[in-house]
Amino acid sequence: MLNEVNCDMRLHNRIMVFLLTLILIVVGPMGSFAASPDKPSGPAKKKIKLDTAVTASPDKREGLSAEDLGFSQSDIKSDPQFQKDLEARSDMLRIHQTLGLITAVPMTTEYVLGLVTAGNVANGSSDTNLHATLGIATTGLYITTAMFAILAPKPKGLKATGASEFHQVLSWIHMPLMILTPLVGDMANDRIANHQPVGDLGTIHFVMATTLLASYLTSITVMTF
């Protein structure tokens, strides 16, 4: 009976990993171009408060500026939709940043749990369900976080600079690893469940997970501090 339950859990986890991987493949490339916040190329634009009229003085402002969000003063005057897009982008990118910080918690926990699970497996255990389930939950939260950046209104002609550019480059590291790491882990789990040697899969999974966590934490750090 226990073997049947474990088999069902592995099947369920595999289905979830497949679905989450499919979502990441579809939305992933778009997410790297929606990293928060971006800055436009060309001359610097005046910065304004997000919570006041668009003609407010730039001397006192809070939160993200129009420049941070990729808009200029000319956009305000020429496009009546500007203020709505500005507020929507600001709100969505703030949620993106908040969820990014929240995602770091289960991702770090998953990494530590992975080390513990690897030790238990080395001592003869074949129970990896908790590690696999938390991994799926972390991937789901990661996708939710990315979606707020992907769907945020974004003007044409943006070019990431400084910390934003570095944040975008790092996304090309942790985004594919968020797809590949669970897949390699699932392959290792199959071998563990069938009492077969894990071989190099364990090492590969560890290296990928370490790179994923390091690149992700660095990514959110450069945009937070």
Per DSSP, the chain holds a count of helices (H) and strands (E) of 7, 0
Decide if 63 is inside a domain.
no
Which residues make beta-bridge pairs with 158? 40
Decide if 204 is inside a domain.
yes
CA–CA separation, 205 and 182 (whole Å): 8
Decide if 70 is inside a domain.
no
- With 0-12 / 13-18 / 19 or more C-beta atoms within 10 angstroms meaning exposed / middle / buried, residue 59 is exposed
Q: What is the pLDDT of residues 31-53, one digit of tens each?
A: 443 444 444 434 333 333 333 33
Amino acid occupying residue 47: K
Mean pLDDT of all residues belonging to the chain:
74
Decide if 197 is inside a domain.
yes
The continuous run of DSSP H or E covering 217 comes out as helix 200-224
Decide if 56 is inside a domain.
no
Domain count, the chain: 1
Q: What is the pLDDT of residue 168?
A: 83
Q: pLDDT-based confidence at 150, cuts 50/70/90?
A: confident
Q: What is the residue range of 23's domain? A: 2-41+92-224
Please tell me the pTM assigned to this model: 0.70
Q: Contact at 8 Å (CB) between 72 and 66? A: yes
Q: What is the pLDDT of residues 46-105, one digit of tens each?
A: 333 333 333 333 443 444 555 555 555 665 566 666 677 777 878 888 999 999 999 999
Decide if 76 is inside a domain.
no
